[in-house]
Structure 1
């Protein structure tokens, strides 16, 4: 990679993070980012334990436990016992959680669609693929 391209990526990432931080003070839908990501992970990959979720998001177990408790209190997830360990449990998304997740996803998609309305389908696809590749690279590092 040329130094010029690295400089451009570094600068654009700094700007992106700043702008995302500024707009993240305005909630999109009723779920904050952590709740949205936890619900999405459970909905797409099935019931999950707090340890697996903390590993996935590289967070402390106590942080994920606190976030999961808030989701449970709102009725978005329920606990199901781990059949192999009576002390442990898995989190399962409820119907209410699925509805909330879908509503929030649609609100996010509407904003992204508006932002990228002048982009071609090819540009959107390329951007999504490169973001996915970058996110996977972050996990592997």
Structure 2
């Protein structure tokens, strides 16, 4: 479809359709990467491990708040990560009664393996893009995700707490 001739309503219709197609394809393929690592880590696990890597050890409530999801959702999603040794529970350094979650060495290794595989997939999907196109797409997708996140955090808007972390 030639989006330059459809006007604003047509452009927005095309945008919402392309976002829906992207969401479906991303879920179908899980954009999990390439090779043996492909689809080896679900989205919720990846996002939780990535957050713990970027922000360091934290409690369930802090992790939930930083991800914009409910604490019970984080608790449910973290349990298998603890069971498989990717995340460990430790005592809070300042309050020994409190528990913090942190990435285990095994979790860091798996996260890097999955990141590398996903990085390779992104490289393959955009191999014929100019560096400026990759940068522009990344900037616009980040902006779009931020706008979605901001909208979800607006009082009165559905939060999607019953859905997996995205």
Scaled by the length of structure 2, the TM-score of the pair is 0.76
- Count of residue pairs the alignment pairs up: 141
Query: What corresponds to 2:157 in structure 1?
Result: none
User: Which residue is 1:62 aligned to?
Assistant: 72
| Pairing 1:11-90 to 2, within 5 Å after superposition | 11-24=17-30, 28-83=38-93, 85-90=95-100
Root mean square deviation of aligned Cα = 2.1
Decide whether the 8 Å contact of 1:81 with 1:88 is kept in 2. Answer: yes
Per-residue deviation, residues 94-126 of structure 1 (Å, max 9, x unmatched): 111110000000011111111111111110000
Give the C-alpha shift of residue 55 in structure 1.
2.2
Deviation of the 1:58 alpha carbon: 3.0
Query: Greater share of helix residues, 1 or 2?
Result: 1
Conserved 8 A contact 1:34-1:67: yes
How far is the alpha carbon of 1:42 from its aligned partner? 0.4
**Matched-pair contact (CA < 8 Å) for 1:75–1:97:** yes
1:138 maps to which of 148, 151, 159? 148
Residue of 95, 104, 109 corresponding to 1:94: 104
**Distance between the aligned counterparts of 2:148 and 2:62, measured in 1?**
18
Aligned residue among 108, 120, 123 for 2:118: 108
More strand by share: 1
What is the TM-score with the length of structure 1 in the denominator?
Answer: 0.88
